[in-house]
Structure 1
Amino acid sequence: MSLTQSDSKLEVGDTAPDFELENYEGQNVGLTDLDNYDGVLVVFMCNHCPFVKAQTEELRKLNNEFSSIAIVGINANAETHPMDSVDKMGDFIEENDLDSEHFYYLIDGDQEVAKAYGAECTPDPFLLDWRHKLYYKGRLNDKSGPSEEVQSRDMKEAIESMLKRQDPPQEQPPSQGCNIKWKE
């Protein structure tokens, strides 16, 4: 496990790269399919990463607290790491109680979407407003390990500000986690 800090080249206000990917059940989901939401939280994640596992409770809370926000998990490791395979993605969703009508877990098999966003680690979150412009690029919260207590729910605060149409937070602490397992 290698700790990587996110440093995406995507800037606040940039239009997010479009995508259309399959979910683990073989259904296509594109960014434009989510136009009816007030925002989209794109999180590059995977099944095995201990940093993702430490954040699944936060993802579940955000999913339950903000039904007007679509949460899209994108797995760029599905073809490069056996624990992150498509076959195991459904189990991950079920085990972590993330299955809902506004949580989507998608496969980025060729890793082109991760590259377009400049994702570097898992989890690596990007909060997009209703126009699909980047509003917040930072950590979900200040918890980095399973035994740590959450002191600051950064993403929740960012979503609340975005929904009130306030300016993006000045401080956007980067996410950190395992590096994406890039294809050679």
Structure 2
Amino acid sequence: MGTESPAGDLGAAAPRFSLPAIDGRTLTLDDVRGERGVVVVFMCNHCPYVKGALAQLIRDARDLAPLGIGIVGINANDARTYSEDSFDRMVAFAADAGLPFPYLYDETQQTARAYGAVCTPECFGFDANLRLRYRGRVDASRKDPVAGAPRDLFEAMRQVAQTGEGPAQQHPAFGCSIKWKLDT
């Protein structure tokens, strides 16, 4: 059963992070932001909803980069319980998918908790001042892509890049719940 994200606290500041990337670097929010904003996507390797939206997310990342919007993927799932979401498998997943953005590992889950993330894929779009302007889905795709679906994330972030403001109507993300560690 899928989980739906709550409404975003629009205007809230982006929580800072410093997380290991699959390429061996440690990246911060400042490292991944673009001149006009950034999208932080909580995602993982095994979720069928991530797989259903992945092609559109990759397309949007490529199309948003020239507009000054950076994108970063963060996996916060408990790899002890879901071994498919381990760091090593993140490396293979990113290579197979051809991810055009950094993919980070939130092993402690502190970053996911700071953002209030609840599902995968869940997108948090911030403006140039790192204020939340969009929280929601990539598009209407679920486990299978929806042909011709409006590009919710892209259109929201294009508006943010052009005006600094997000759309009045926002669509919640829907996907697998984040797999929280039981001992935290």
1:68-147 equivalences in 2 (<5 Å): 68-77=68-77, 79-80=79-80, 81-98=82-99, 100=100, 103-146=101-144
1:61-72 equivalences in 2 (<5 Å): 61-67=59-65, 68-72=68-72
CA deviation after TM superposition for structure 1 residue 18, in Å = 0.6
Aligned pair count reads 179
Task: Give percent identity, aligned residues only.
Answer: 39
Structure 2: segments with no counterpart, 5+ residues: none
Partner of 2:9: 11
Please report the RMSD computed on the Cα atoms of aligned residues, expressed in angstroms: 1.5
Q: 1:122 to 1:158 in 2, by over 3 A?
A: same
Distance, in Å, in 2 between the alignment partners of 1:176 and 1:35 is 24
TM-score by length of 2: 0.91
| Conserved? CA contact 2:33–2:69, under 8 Å | no
Task: Tell me the alpha carbon deviations over residues 40-94 of structure 1, each in whole angstroms, 9 at most, x when there is no partner.
Answer: 1100000010000011111110121122221110000153410011011111111
Structure 1: segments with no counterpart, 5+ residues: none
| Conserved? CA contact 2:74–2:104, under 8 Å | yes
